[in-house]
Chain A
Amino acid sequence: MSVTVRIPTILRTYTGGNAEVSGEGATLRDVLIKLDSDYPGIGARILDESGKIRRFVNVYVGEEDVRFAEGLDTAAPEGTQISIIPAVAGG
């Protein structure tokens, strides 16, 4: 499946400054694996040593925070936008 991935400012050094890149995969996990092969090193910024999403990173597939869905196994349908966003506090 072809998807778009929105890249936060702090990871754009990996994507040559691009705020959005195209991705590929049936699940979020697949998309992140492909992303890391296209932009080596970016995967380790998003996932910790044990392969889990880092606790201060929020990942959305479409409008849904993946923690409300299937986490890394969340399906990534054709044309979906995936967003990677640092956790923010305040209110």
Chain B
Amino acid sequence: MSLDFGPAVGLSCRECGTRYPLGPSFACLECFGPLEAAYSFGTVTRADIESGPSNIWRYRSLLPVPVDVASKPNMNPGWTKLVKAGNLGRALGLKSLYVKDDSGNPTHSFKDRVVAIAVEAARNFGFHTLSCSSTGNLAGAVTAAAARAGLEACVFIPANLEAAKIAMARVFGGKLIGIDGTYDEVNRFCSELIGDPLGDKWGFVNVNLRPYYAEGSKTLAYEIAEQLGWRLPEQIVIPIASGSQLTKIDKGFRELVQLGLVEDTPYKIFGAQAAGCSPVSTAYKAGHDVVQPVKPDTIAKSLAIGNPADGPYVLDIARRTGGAVEDVTDPEIVAAIKLLASTEGVFAETAGGVTVGVLKKLAESGRLDPEAETVVLNTGDGLKTLDAISDDAKPTAVIRPSLDAFRAAV
């Protein structure tokens, strides 16, 4: 098998640095640490990137994908809007605020970015089935991408997810297995399945394809910097599920600096969790560098990972950059969804409510610099988590079609 991962030349253990050849492996044989793609970048210019397609493949020279990636059937996610959020900024006292709105991706969440890279890895390794453990958004992204790429799909979710996420994961075909358990239990099951002959030709995007898959989150960093005019934001608020997205956005910013594509200016990274699943925030506040797992209980199901594998790295990054990790309650999440929607016309899912809620809390407590350029992420579409705002999912009034009745109602 001849592998083509573009600029990626191997895998490297994030803990001990041991190097491995490119392969469908995700844990270090020495210390169990996570493996990540290691690169030998060529010369990359802003002009090369700007002449690329209006999707993540404009950054193909920075990703573990072949150079002709854009010519193959894929969902072509990315290049989502960076919304200048003046109204929300004024409401929170922040002078220069942007919302990076990833609900505009093909299956309405940031997961299309990571899955697009995983599809290329699955093709490279000759896998016939694309799979994942998921809190919902990833399941939809995987079944859609598999359909488009001509791969089989079999995805695993906790059985009690939001109806819209289940419908989305199902409509694209393939198999959807609901497991009677938490996401962490689903994840554990998939990790065991991978070592079984039943699953050994399967590409689990967030398990054995994780080193490739996770790199997709870097494209959020690249896009934000390019959309700001090739500049790093001074402050950014990012949701934490497993913590992978936050760590890869940091990696993306550092790569842009290393390649001379942006100036080396300081940035602060803030992590956001729901109070009902806040192991990283708890560790941050306690000054710990290990993350004690929890059993989640929150409406923000897409962030309900009680055992976040990248949690220790999130702590490192928040502390290194001068950021923080904070959490908000379920009522604060709902209020933040409504605040974002009513100020900027962006309808976030509960995870976006967490991030905007934490943004608000950080702004009000003075931990964000009100003068600094700030970006907040919305990673998914509010239509997927309608139950969270069910009290408002009805008309403000129901009247007879008469002017008198209307005057009385308003």
The residues of A with any CB-CB pair to B shorter than 8 Å are 6, 8-10, 12, 19, 45, 48, 54-58, 60, 63, 65, 67-68, 83, 85-91
Contacts and interface: CB of A to CB of B under 8 A. Distances in A.
A73 B364 CA distance: 44
A6 B190 CA distance: 14
Contacts of B188: 58, 60, 83, 85
A63 B182 CA distance: 12
A88 B15 contact: no
Nearest to A84: B32
B385 interface: no
Given A9-B195, A88-B191, A89-B243, 9 more contacts: A9-B194, A45-B31, A45-B32, A65-B293, A67-B292, A88-B26, A88-B190, A90-B206, A91-B135
Interface of B: 15, 25-34, 114, 132-135, 138, 183-185, 187-188, 190-192, 194-196, 205-207, 210, 213-214, 241-244, 290, 292-293, 295, 302, 305, 307-310, 312
8 closest pairs, A vs B, by CB?
A90-B206, A86-B27, A89-B309, A89-B242, A87-B309, A9-B195, A56-B32, A89-B244
Contacts of B32: 10, 45, 54, 56-57, 86-87
Contacts of B241: 91
B95 to A, nearest CB: 34
A85 B242 CA distance: 16
B31 A8 contact: no
A88 B211 CA distance: 11
A19 B196 contact: yes
A87 B191 CA distance: 9
A19 B195 contact: yes
B293 A88 contact: no
